[in-house]
Chains A and B, each alone.
Chain A
């Protein structure tokens, strides 16, 4: 009996493109998102936020708000747990300020009232006395001597002596001798690059409905990428026993990393505990911008040496990441991803995590990697241009491949960068002629991908259909992918499988849907759970036939005797076995709980054609092609969607999106009218090519696909614009005014 379903070819269901199971609910409005939950007696909450970038909280007077008709509870930091340190301490400090407001929009108090209107009026009645402190919002300024200290003693042991207290983590890695490598080069290019903070731009604001009684038992409904993590954080912030809080994840209107942490849920629960009523809390769009988690802004220096034949002789990068008012900017990820596509004898990378008076940064698809690619791939483009080299041939010449040493240390296992670059070279886009005024840009990108704690349960019904419970919120069509993988193992149609996202009371701990881990890890767990059920199905058939269990195998939905020696029995279909399962041993289920550690890294390469209007400076992306190694595309349509989504978000990041802070430290553009994300008319059709170099760590070869697609766009678009206008673009976003400035400076010579 074959219990191992591992294969990379010969699939019946995997690789097909059925409709998504949640599609009808979403197009008819039946799907329930974070703000769609209601409860009897429910109150509405609003949060009082600091208007100052940095201020000591001298006094909070809530008496006038509490006296208002309809107001049922007010909370401040005094209503939360004390003594928290580390990660949970930082989250609580971000959820509700303690002694200081650390950024414009930092929560200082909250109200629950009988209507949202009363709650919003009540927070105006809360009087807060502030002592305004000096602030800093720029990463380079925050590192300078004399810069205001955001939080003393926040730095960890990695930070060398002598750096400003706002530098809270430091990372350095590499090998070889970069100075010797630069001496071997025919050309060395060194440049400075800047990127601004951007927001994930998810459509759905953070929203939740919390109920918490004085007995310490609670229920929470929220939109999140990881409800077990929310459970853990809320329990810590409120001093609860973790298992007494049941958390259910709603449908999610986009996350992209921004919903991997907690902003409002402990507030709703604290208000509920105080008011003894359910409390609903929904962020406004302005609050999402001011007080959720954008990306880091960056200041970067990259230096690369190259021989005339295109060989890279050495590479060095310094990456300074502004992470807001708390430690955690992914400086090490930026540094590790920066030169990952290249086989380098001499390489050195340094990362700085720098605090400022901005909201705490959060993950955004491949956190830290896109900015690194912008700097590194821009310098490689400049080198290729000056040396007259083909940008793909040059990247192929230096490409990381199995057996070469990664820039961050280990030896690469089987990876698909070479196949990806060869697919770019073979694509018609790469050879297509450009019109006057257009430029073409190329970039590589890299992301690690991840496994993580995962639990899946599969149960068969009497009619032979199956229900699969997974614990990873579906942020990209994963219910379809899980159903396809279960169908492949069970040998039953995709439509006969229903996949649900279980709540925290139903399954073991599941790590957040992040790190492009869901199709890999929950997929692996689904396959293993299905194999476990198949083993039981075979055992029931063996018992019916009176032969050993290992004389039965499973094929295409049937239990079959394994050969003439096993006996001559008519194969039993799954529904013949499940129809009598209650009388032959009981329900048939499969489970799998583990921390899969075989995630496969992935590489992408993008081709972009851009056209710049020399009078206005406006850039139009006229053609875009994404090529990426997926390992194995379980549902190719959703893989292509991930590729296109990464490119679309990258176009916004490259051309228009930015957090703009005034001299007063206040965010100037906290809304979609002033924070310009791409709309359909800004985008070309984004072509995709799926490369499949199987990951040996997954039964079907899956690598993650959700994040790598946002790594190349910033650089590919910047290279396209630079080649269109003849000026190297070193700062994002390349908004029209900035492009005009570049054109004017070039004209001035």
Chain B
């Protein structure tokens, strides 16, 4: 299981928790598990998120590996100028 930290705007959608534990060995698997286990997050996930894995901001690659002890933080998708 991997703990996924959520920004506080998402916490009401998962029963007030600041993180949730899901199964997954890649960014894509973790996002799929979040969709399955927490349907209320689906609109946010579909709108686009970045996933920070051990300090690296993963903007789009679903194949990035995630270890069980990785620090995983959901973040709004980055946009630049």
Which residues does A use to contact B, with CB under 8 Å?
A: 156-158, 170-175, 256-258, 260, 330, 332-333, 336, 348, 363-367, 408-413, 447-453, 514-517, 595, 597-599, 601, 697, 707
Say whether A453 contacts B55, CB under 8 Å: no
B80 at the interface (CB under 8 A from A): yes
B37 within 8 A of A: no
Q: Contacts A158-B44, A170-B9, A336-B76 given; indicate if A410 touches B81 (C-beta within 8 A).
A: no
Task: Give 12 CB contacts A-B under 8 Å.
Answer: A172-B7, A260-B81, A333-B79, A363-B79, A409-B74, A413-B55, A447-B80, A449-B80, A515-B80, A595-B59, A595-B61, A597-B61
Using Cβ atoms and an 8 Å threshold, which residues of chain A touch B14?
none
With A170-B9, A172-B7, A515-B79 known, 17 other A-B pairs at CB within 8 A are A171-B9, A173-B8, A336-B75, A336-B76, A363-B80, A366-B81, A367-B80, A408-B73, A409-B7, A410-B71, A411-B55, A449-B80, A514-B79, A514-B81, A597-B58, A597-B64, A598-B56
Selected from B43, B56, B58, B76, the residue in CB contact (under 8 A) with A413 is B56
The B28-73 residues at the A interface (CB cut-off 8 A) are 43-44, 47, 52, 54-61, 64, 71, 73
Flag if B7 contacts A256 (CB, 8 Å): no
A364 surroundings in chain B (CB, below 8 A)? 81
Is the beta-carbon distance between B64 and A410 smaller than 8 angstroms? Answer: no
- Given the known interface contacts A158-B9, A597-B61, the answer about A332 and B76 at a Cβ–Cβ threshold of 8 Å is yes
Which single residue of chain B is at the shortest CB-CB distance from A368? B79
Contact B60 A453 (CB under 8 A): yes
Q: How far is the CB of B51 from chain A (nearest CB, A)?
A: 10
A696 to chain B, nearest CB (A): 9
Within 8 Å by CB of A515, from B55, B75, B78, lies B78
Please, which residue of chain B has its CB at the minimum distance from the CB of A366?
Answer: B81
Residue numbers in A under 8 Å from B43 (CB-CB): 156-157
Measured between C-beta atoms, what is the minimum distance from B37 to chain A in Å?
A: 17
**Could you tell me the distance in whole angstroms from the C-beta of B39 to the nearest C-beta in chain A?**
11
The residue that B59 contacts in the complex, of A260, A447, A452, with Cβ under 8 A, is: A452
A413 → B minimal CB distance (Å) = 3
* Chain A hits for B81, CB < 8 A: 256-258, 260, 363-367, 514-515, 707
Closest Cβ of chain B to A648, distance in Å, is 16
In the bound complex, do residue A451 and residue B75 qualify as a contact, i.e. CB atoms below 8 Å apart?
Answer: no
- B78 near A448: Cβ-Cβ < 8 Å: yes
CB distance from B8 to the nearest CB of A (A): 5
A-B pairs under 8 A by CB, number: 101
Docked CA distance A597–B58 (Å): 5
A13 to chain B, nearest CB (A): 27
Say how far B54's CB is from chain A's closest CB, in angstroms: 8
Q: Is the CB of A450 within 8 A of B59?
A: yes
Q: Which residues of A contact B75 (CB under 8 A)?
A: 336, 408-410
Contact indicator B60/A333 (Cβ below 8 Å): no
B7: min CB distance to chain A, Å: 4
A89 to chain B, nearest CB (A): 14
Q: In whole Å, how far is B78's beta carbon from the nearest beta carbon of chain A?
A: 5
Size category, B interface: 20 to 34
Report B-chain residues with C-beta under 8 Å of the C-beta of A447.
80
In the complex the two chains form, is A411's CB within 8 Å of B71's CB? yes
Asked whether A410 lies within 8 Å of B44 as measured between CB atoms, the reply is no
> Which partner residue on chain B sits nearest A594 by CB separation?
B61
Given contacts A257-B80, A257-B81, A515-B79, contact A410 B58 (CB under 8 A): no
| A157 near B44: Cβ-Cβ < 8 Å | yes
Q: Considering the chains assembled together, what is the distance between the CA atoms of A409 and B81 in angstroms? A: 23
CA distance A173 to B44 in the complex (A): 15
A173 touches B78 (CB 8 A): no
**What 5 pairs across the A-B complex have the smallest Cβ distances?**
A515-B80, A257-B81, A413-B55, A363-B81, A172-B9
CA distance A543 to B35 in the complex (A): 53
Contact assessment for A707 and B80 in the assembled complex, using a CB-CB cutoff below 8 Å: yes
Tell whether, in the assembled complex, residue B52 and residue A450 are in contact, meaning their CB atoms are under 8 Å apart. Answer: no
User: Distance in Å from the Cβ of B80 to the closest Cβ of chain A?
Assistant: 2
Residues of chain B lying within 8 A (CB to CB) of residue A170: 9
Give the nearest-CB partner of A369 in chain B: B81
Shortest distance from the beta carbon of A421 to any chain B beta carbon, whole Å: 20
B62 → chain A closest CB, angstroms: 10
Chain B residues closer than 8 Å to A174, beta-carbon distance: 8
Q: Let me know if A448 and B57 touch, CB within 8 A.
A: yes
Give the CA-CA distance A256 to B81 in the complex, in Å: 6
Asked whether B9 lies within 8 Å of A599 as measured between CB atoms, the reply is: no
Chain B residue, CB-CB nearest to A596: B61
Partner pick for B60 among A171, A408, A409, A595, CB 8 A cutoff: A595
Q: Which of B44, B73, B78, B79 contacts A409 (CB 8 A)?
A: B73
B71 to chain A, nearest CB (A): 6
A447 and B74 CA atoms in complex are apart in Å by 18
Beta-carbon contacts under 8 Å, B2-39 to A: 5, 7-9, 18
A156 touches B47 (CB 8 A): yes
What is the minimal beta-carbon distance from A206 to any residue of chain B, in angstroms? 16
- A residues less than 8 Å from B5 (CB atoms): 409-410
User: For residue A348, which residue of chain B has the nearest CB?
Assistant: B8
CA distance A487 to B71 in the complex (A): 38
> With contacts A157-B43, A363-B81, A410-B73 known, is A173 near B56, CB below 8 A?
no
Q: How far is the CB of A444 from chain B (nearest CB, A)?
A: 19
A257 proximity list for chain B (CB < 8 A): 80-81
The reply to whether A597 and B80 form a contact with Cβ atoms under 8 Å apart is no
- How far apart sit A171 and B78, CA to CA, in the bound complex (Å)? 13
Q: What B residues does A517 contact at CB under 8 A?
A: 80
| A642–chain B nearest beta-carbon distance, Å | 12
Task: A172 to B7: give the CA distance in the assembly, Å.
Answer: 7
Task: Report the Cα distance A413→B58, complex, angstroms.
Answer: 14
A273 to chain B, nearest CB (A): 31
Q: A257 to B8, alpha carbons, bound, how many Å?
A: 29
Q: How far is the CA of A453 from the CA of B69 in the complex (A)?
A: 28
| Residues on B with beta carbons closer than 8 Å to the beta carbon of A157 | 43-44
Chain A residues contacting B61 (CB-CB under 8 Å) are 595, 597
Q: Give the complex CA separation of A307 and B45 in angstroms.
A: 40
> Could you say which residues of chain B place their CB within 8 Å of the CB of A697?
56
* Candidate in B5, B18, B76 with the most chain A CB atoms within 10 angstroms: B76
Query: How far is it, in angstroms, between the C-alpha of A450 and the C-alpha of B58 when the chains are bound?
Result: 9
Q: A332 CA to B71 CA in the complex, in Å? A: 21
- The interface residues of chain B lying within 8 Å CB-to-CB of A448 are 57, 78, 80
Chain A residue contacts of B54, Cβ below 8 A: 411, 413
| A208 to B: closest C-beta gap in Å | 21
* Residues on the A chain within 8 Å of B57, using CB: 448, 597, 599, 601
Q: Are B80 and A516 in contact (CB under 8 A)?
A: yes
Q: Is the CB of B76 within 8 A of A171?
A: yes
Residues of A within 8 A of B18 (CB): 175
Q: Which residue of A lies closest to B40 (CB)?
A: A157
The distance in angstroms between the C-alpha atoms of A481 and B75, with both chains bound, is 31
Min CB distance A353 to B, Å, is 11
